[in-house]
Structures are given as structure tokens and as C-alpha cells.
Amino acid sequence: MSVRFEFDPVNKILMTRLEGELTDDLARETDAGMRKHLVEKNPQVHIVDCSSVTKFSMSGEWIRQLARRQPAIQGVSCRRFFVMPNIESFGLARMFQLAGEPHYDSVMIVRSLEEIFTTLSIEPPRFESLEST
């Protein structure tokens, strides 16, 4: 499993890209990295791209615990998107969204990055690499 954090300074988009098997431990590490970058970069958009996750091995309890935490940045100043290309990942994102109400009820769950760029009416961003794990 690997996690990459990227940032597009022009559109102020933080991208978290996950690859491989996603476990509870990796989700903890990813959450810590995301929170750090959200505070440091103060993006207008945060995308969690799970299109390269090959297996979701996260427990339902851990998903609910993550969802109950306060967001790293508050308010509607940051639009949040999950890229979940298949039914299993979409269901897990919905569980997170419902368990995280009202903090995460505005998260948009989409099937592709292109849907996000269309929604935001922007050209595909140019991301710069931040730290990876």
C-alpha cells in the first residue's frame, strides 16, 4: 500500500492518492498525513482518490471512528470528494459519510477524477508532489 499527497497551488486542491490494500493501520497513517496537509495548505478542494485501491480491508468500526472525528479544517471553505470507482468502495464511502454527519454530509462521492473536474469547471490540475508514505 502506498499513499501520495499532491497539491495544485493554482486551484488550491489537495489530492490524497491511495494504492494497493487499504487496512485500518494504513488508514490511520493516511488520516494523520491528510490532517497535516489540510492544515498546512488550507485547500479549497480535497480529493481522496481510491481508484487504485485493490482491496478494502478496513473494519466498519474504524470507518465510523474516522467519520466521527472533527474535520481538520472546518466549514464549507473546503469541498471534499471521494473517488470510488466500484460498488464496494462506494458503499464504504457512504458509510463514512452517514456516520460523519453533519461534518461530512457534504462529501461528494464520484466514480472518476473527471467528474470532479467537470463539477468544479476546471481543466485537469497540475499537481506537485508532497510527502508520500
3 state DSSP class of 75 = coil
Superfamily per CATH, domain 2-132: STAS domain (3.30.750.24)
Query: Which of the four pLDDT bands, split at 50, 70 and 90, describes residue 132?
Result: low
**CA trace torsion 50, 52, 55, 61 (10° rounding):** -20
Per the CB < 8 A criterion, the answer to whether 39 and 72 are in contact is yes
- pLDDT tens digit string along 64-118? 898 888 888 766 678 999 999 999 889 989 999 888 888 777 889 999 999 999 9
Ranges of each domain in the chain:
2-132
pTM, to two decimals: 0.91
Closest CA to 51 of 22, 71, 72: 22
Per the CB < 8 A criterion, the answer to whether 57 and 21 are in contact is yes
- Integer Cα distance of 113 and 34 in angstroms: 18
